Amino acid sequence: MDAINIIVRSIFVDNMVFAYFLGMCSFLAVSKNVKTALGLGIAVTFVLVLTLPLNYLIENYVLKGGALAWFGDEYKDVDLSVFSLLIFIAVIASVVQLVEMIIERFSPALYLSLGIFLPLIAVNCAILGGSLFMQQREFPNIGIATAYAFGSGIGWLLAIVGMAAIREKLEYSNVPKPLKGLGITFIITALMAIGFMSFSGINI
Amino acid sequence: MALSNKTKEVLLGPLNKNNPVIVQVLGICSALAVTSKLEPAVVMAISVTVVVAFANVIISLLRKTIPNRIRIIVQLVVAAALVTLVSEVLKAFAYDVNKQLSVFVGLIVTNCILMGRLEAFALGNGPWPSFLDGIGNGLGYGWILVAVGFFRELLGSGSLFGHKVIPQCVYDAGYKDNGLMMLAPMAILIVACIIWIHRARNKDLQEESN
């Protein structure tokens, strides 16, 4: 039940885009049509689900104060959390590179449709943000952490696909000149965020 | 020392015509999330300027030795090391602000401005222009942050830097703080208004399609 609750919460209430503005750069840049938006959304979810549990293990068995106790008594007081940022981002960057290479080798078709987005993902704030929130919220076990990763990814996907759909329709409307493109996209994002706020407080 | 035209362009361009936030659309994530008060916005602006400037210098010094395939990882590691330093300094000297910024200090690493400048400028230029470029872009990012923070704090809680600026008699007459300003979506709307004004004045930046 905990896992379902956290998935629902991270999709609607703590939506990465609308509540924390994470991954805004690619959100704004790649939301011109639904198909590419869907591709990027899937890629983000995939990388989140891979990296967040990995970082969870590293955080709890290596970095946290006292986490090295399994290694021997003399390591009980070691606190490596200063390095967490450095290690998280290294893990993310290498997983992205690895995934890119594996997909390229085994499924060239998928690589062609996703390939261009994969390098972008290493610097998508939503991915690192997920890991940092994981560290801050101290999830009880790896299952919950994975559920959180999945929910945040789906929430991001939902946001970018919805945005792309609206922008496709927007093509036919008459927007004031200085607002064209970027400006109107910002205003739509703000309105969507206000809409999403109506979900706040939902608990299962 | 008189600045040559090129240095001037590198340093001052990002403040207006080439602004990282409202023209190049980089670094939006943090620009919006930390601006509900003026103080964290200023701290964030300074942190980003410092990190971008020094990461630019380091990458620019290393640019001939980094293999092309792994350059993203190298850039991220340099950035992460600098951000860790900044975050430790903040924890030591400005603990409250650090609490308010929460994960967003860490997220400077994936701030698109940082990666964008490293990729687009530092990899192809010497250390001194790169340093100026970093300062310029940091300031360009900073003034947007401060502007958004100014309006949100003024209209949302009637104060600036935590001090009340709207006099009590105005409240007595029935004025109320606009609580909506403290919520996240209003930050986007304010940036949208800045973009609107900016593009109305610089016609060449207007886009053709939606």
pLDDT in tens, B104-115: 777 777 777 787
* Residue B187 clears pLDDT 80, i.e. is over it: yes
Question: Each residue of B74-102: pLDDT tens digit?
Answer: 888 888 888 888 888 888 887 888 777 77
Question: Each residue of B131-153: pLDDT tens digit?
Answer: 888 888 888 888 888 888 888 88
For residue B168, give how far its alpha carbon lies from the nearest alpha carbon of chain A (Å). 30
- B-chain residue closest to A180, CA distance: B210
Question: Each residue of A65-119: pLDDT tens digit?
Answer: 766 767 777 777 777 777 787 888 888 888 888 878 887 788 777 777 665 666 6
Whole-model pTM: value is 0.79
* Residue B210 clears pLDDT 60, i.e. is over it: no
SS (H, E, C) chain A: CHHHHHHHHHHHHCCHHHHHCCCHHHHHHCCCCHHHHHHHHHHHHHHHHHHHHHHHHHHHHHHCCCHHHHHCHHHCCCCCHHHHHHHHHHHHHHHHHHHHHHHHHHCHHHHHHHHHHHHHHHCCHHHHHHHHHHHHHCCCCHHHHHHHHHHHHHHHHHHHHHHHHHHHHHCCCCCCHHHCCHHHHHHHHHHHHHHHHHHCCCCC
B41, B47 contact by CB (below 8 A)? no
Does residue A148 sit at the B interface (CB-CB below 8 Å)? no
The reported pLDDT for the residue numbered B1 is: 44
Most A CBs within 10 A among B21, B23, B210, hence the mutation to make, goes to B210
Residue-level length of chain B? 210
Average pLDDT of span A177-185: 81
Partner residue facing B210 (CB), from A97, A119, A167: A167
The reported pLDDT for the residue numbered B208 is: 64
Q: How confident is the model at residue A41 (pLDDT cuts 50, 70, 90)?
A: confident
SS (H, E, C) chain B: CCCCHHHHHHHHHHHCCCCCCCCCCCCHHHHHHCCCCHHHHHHHHHHHHHHHHHHHHHHHHHCCCCCHHHHHHHHHHHHHHHHHHHHHHHHHHCHHHHHHHCHHHHHHHHCHHHHHHHHHCHHHCCHHHHHHHHHHHHHHHHHHHHHHHHHHHHHHHCEECCEECCCHHHHHCCCCCCHHHHCHHHHHHHHHHHHHHHHHHCHHHCCCCC
Average pLDDT of span B103-129: 79
Q: What is the ipTM of this complex?
A: 0.75
Average pLDDT of span B18-32: 74
Supply angle C-alpha B19, B179, A196, rounded to 5: 75
For CA atoms A69, A74, A76, A78, the dihedral sign is: negative
Distance between CA A26 and CA A126 in Å, rounded? 10
Question: Each residue of A110-167: pLDDT tens digit?
Answer: 777 665 666 667 667 788 888 888 888 888 888 888 999 999 999 999 999 999 999 8
The pairing of beta strand B159-160 with beta strand B163-164: antiparallel
Does residue B61 sit at the A interface (CB-CB below 8 Å)? no
Does residue B76 sit at the A interface (CB-CB below 8 Å)? yes
For residue A115, give how far its alpha carbon lies from the nearest alpha carbon of chain B (Å). 15
The reported pLDDT for the residue numbered A97 is: 81
The reported pLDDT for the residue numbered B209 is: 61
